[in-house]
Structure 1
Amino acid sequence: MKKVKRKLGKYEVGRTIGEGTFAKVKFARNTETGENVAIKVLAKSTILKHRMVEQIKREISIMKIVRHPCIVQLHEVLASQTKIYIIQEFVTGGELFDKIVHLGRLSEDEARRYFQQLIDAIAHCHSKGVYHRDLKPENLLLDFQGNLKISDFGLSALPQQGVELLYTTCGTPNYVAPEVLSNRGYDGAAADVWSCGIILYVLMAGYLPFEETDLPTLYTKVRCSNHAFVMC
């Protein structure tokens, strides 16, 4: 007996292709256009329980603002009584992280290409006043042509009137900028650029510049690296 596929408006929903702490990602097809999409499914009860309402609103607002060939595109947002559905571009090439794990360091030409696409997309975000704050190879997807697609704007910040510095400490420890750890405020654009630099290092070397088994030692190394640059 053939399994009847679930419908969500004009979308035919298929298998689960990803699962995180707060959401599932489903593969789906737009029955009107035939286009494949990814649907991020969030339970409203989970959003309320973890007080994520403002974060989800901000992520959706940001994805509507940043339209760029190297950024995963938001198509639309739907909702039922119990769930929120974020319909996004379906990216088929997996994570850049997996490619690095498989190949180790990339060739200089390939690393340059990815880095140029990353910087171009991040410059676009910054021109819109958007700071990603969690740039890492796991959040960089590849399409079927091997082009970079930035994803996961869940920790991103939008500009606030009269506020020049950001104060929330967030991001992935190995990629976070020293000033983010200082608790004295930081420039979101500069913090993103630092993370881009770490990504370039990983692309070229095949390993992280700062990697420790415990966070205090890791953070000390990151802070010391900043002092060394200043001294130079």
Structure 2
Amino acid sequence: MAYGGTSLMERYELGRLLGQGTFAKVYYARSIVTGQSVAIKVVDKDKIMKVGLMDQIKREISIMRLVRHPNVILLHEVMATKTKIYFVMELAKGGELFNKVAKGKLKEDVARKYFQQLVNAVDFCHSRGVYHRDLKPENLLLDEDENLKISDFGLSALAESKRGDGLLHTTCGTPAYVAPEVINMKGYDGAKADIWSCGVILYVMLAGYLPFHESNLMEMYRKIAKAEFRCPNWFQPEIRRLLLRILDPCPDTRITIARIRDHPWFKRGMTSKYIDANAKSKNVGSQNTSIVAEDKQEVPRLLNLNAFDLISHYTGFDLSRLFEESCLKKQHRFTSRKPPYVIISKLEDIAKHLKLKLTKRDAGLLRFEGTKEGRKGILSIDAEIFELTPALHLLEVKKSNGDTLEYDKIMNDCIRPGLQDIVWAEQNDITTAKNRTRN
């Protein structure tokens, strides 16, 4: 099938090929309706199903919907035919950061700017329970204003992927950028492994070459394990000290992102306006929230749902239809005109009644967890609150682990009745609900 100038679903006009891999090709495209330039990744369904990568594609879609940040490539929408899956994404006109560093070292101020944007974006991903696991210059793109954008979440993991020891165990990534603990295959903290990769990227930007590079892979791994590297003589003492803290082979003593952001070299050149903008990015899209808390109740940060989110929440537009099999956990959705703290208070009462542990996370996400092992492990239920309009909220409740029968019983006997006096509608058409609030 030739894509040059081809109309895709009467929505996009596909143009030149931008790049390709084993299972996908990326094309320049233009929206027929708005004229906006985008990049469309075309994935061959048959190829990925043959090698068992369908779950990876599903996870990538879920993750890209979670991580909406100015320095992360934006996923506009996902479309599919019987043979292809189409990722419609933000177009980064500046190309890969790799193309810049391949020509030699960057100026210190330029490298610092990219590093600041990288660290802030990675910090946001971690706050949403997402670990990239393949950070490298090839996966860092630049827009037309020279702003960095993280891309390619194909090897990313979610916090729920951790095993009972609280660690990730899948060995993945690019050898020269991978953390020592990942190579050791004894389990690793995804956030700390990403921090190591950020350190390697910083070194590459400032030096123009890798800190760990050997033709013999085992020798390179040995050097990574012991963090054996040398800084060029043009590295300032501040940079050397920071790199030694980041490229610490012991994950327990490795510097955290909070401390990196506190480092004098990192903070240089950052205006208060930039810092405020980054802080707001943790609450992407929710700046217009006009909820007033009563009795000094804390108002959680919520995610707004855009058109893509709303469509994917309809049963009729379930993303699992793209893959011809169900990929979503059993879930229930409720709409409420009550403010978030009232909904959370109700959930706390339900958890107390059920004797379940309730953990509050970022952006209106809560988790119920049982204390006893069930037929299929410990029951775990996630509850997340989204803002539809300032006066209307969506509560999504779904089973994340454990026995479905146990979950159904708790949902029908306790959660649904417990929410009854604050819920406006369950499984209603969201658009209709939004229109009613306006009328």
Q: Is the 8 A contact 2:161 2:168 kept in 1?
A: no
The alpha-carbon deviation at position 161 of structure 1 amounts to 7.2
Structure 1 segments unaligned to the other structure (5+ residues):
none
The alpha-carbon deviation at position 68 of structure 1 amounts to 0.4
**Partner amino acid for 1:37?**
V
Greater alpha carbon shift after TM alignment, 79-88 vs 156-165? 156-165
The alpha-carbon deviation at position 5 of structure 1 amounts to 2.6
Structure 2: how far apart are the matches of 1:129 and 1:166?
12
| 1:66 equivalenced with 2:67 (yes/no) | yes
Q: Is the 8 A contact 2:212 2:224 kept in 1?
A: yes
Which of structure 1's runs of 4+ aligned residues deviate more than 2 A?
Answer: 226-231
The equivalent of 1:174 in structure 2 is 176
The alpha-carbon deviation at position 228 of structure 1 amounts to 7.8
Structure 2 segments unaligned to the other structure (5+ residues):
229-246, 254-439
Secondary structure class of the residue paired with 2:73: coil
The equivalent of 1:214 in structure 2 is 216
Structure 1: how far apart are the matches of 2:91 and 2:38?
4
**Partner amino acid for 1:128?**
R
Deviations 1:26-73 (A, max 9, x none): 111011111011111111110111100100000010000000010000
| Equivalence map 1:32-111=2 (5 Å) | 32-102=33-103, 104-111=104-111
Q: 1:60 to 1:228 in 2, by over 3 A?
A: closer
Secondary structure class of the residue paired with 1:192: helix
The equivalent of 1:136 in structure 2 is 136
**Partner amino acid for 2:121?**
A
Q: 1:162 to 1:91 in 2, by over 3 A?
A: closer
Structure 2: how far apart are the matches of 1:21 and 1:4?
20
How many residues are matched? 228
Secondary structure class of the residue paired with 2:43: strand
**Partner amino acid for 1:166?**
L
Q: 1:83 to 1:225 in 2, by over 3 A?
A: same
| 1:24 equivalenced with 2:6 (yes/no) | no
The equivalent of 1:203 in structure 2 is 205
| Equivalence map 1:156-171=2 (5 Å) | 156-160=156-160, 163=163, 164-171=166-173
**Partner amino acid for 2:31?**
N
The equivalent of 2:151 in structure 1 is 151
TM-score (norm 1): 0.94
The alpha-carbon deviation at position 98 of structure 1 amounts to 0.6
Q: Which has the higher contact order (CA 8 A, sep 6+)?
A: 1
Secondary structure class of the residue paired with 2:110: helix
Secondary structure class of the residue paired with 2:160: coil
The alpha-carbon deviation at position 229 of structure 1 amounts to 5.6
Deviations 1:185-222 (A, max 9, x none): 00000000000000001111111110001211111111
Secondary structure class of the residue paired with 1:160: helix
Structure 2: how far apart are the matches of 1:203 and 1:22?
30
Structure 1: how far apart are the matches of 2:137 and 2:102?
10
Structure 1: how far apart are the matches of 2:114 and 2:176?
19
Structure 1: how far apart are the matches of 2:195 and 2:4?
47
Structure 2: how far apart are the matches of 1:4 and 1:16?
8
Deviations 1:83-107 (A, max 9, x none): 11111011100111111112x1111
Structure 1: how far apart are the matches of 2:4 and 2:184?
54
The equivalent of 1:115 in structure 2 is 115
Structure 2: how far apart are the matches of 1:4 and 1:105?
36
**Larger Rg, first or second structure (1 or 2):** 2
**Partner amino acid for 2:118?**
L
Structure 2: how far apart are the matches of 1:37 and 1:70?
16
The alpha-carbon deviation at position 146 of structure 1 amounts to 0.4
The alpha-carbon deviation at position 6 of structure 1 amounts to 1.3
**Partner amino acid for 1:65?**
L
**Partner amino acid for 1:72?**
I
Deviations 1:170-197 (A, max 9, x none): 0000000000011110000000000000
TM-score (norm 2): 0.50
Structure 1: how far apart are the matches of 2:51 and 2:27?
22
Secondary structure class of the residue paired with 1:203: helix
Q: 1:32 to 1:56 in 2, by over 3 A?
A: same
The equivalent of 1:191 in structure 2 is 193
Q: Is the 8 A contact 2:27 2:39 kept in 1?
A: yes
Secondary structure class of the residue paired with 2:159: coil
Structure 2: how far apart are the matches of 1:212 and 1:38?
35
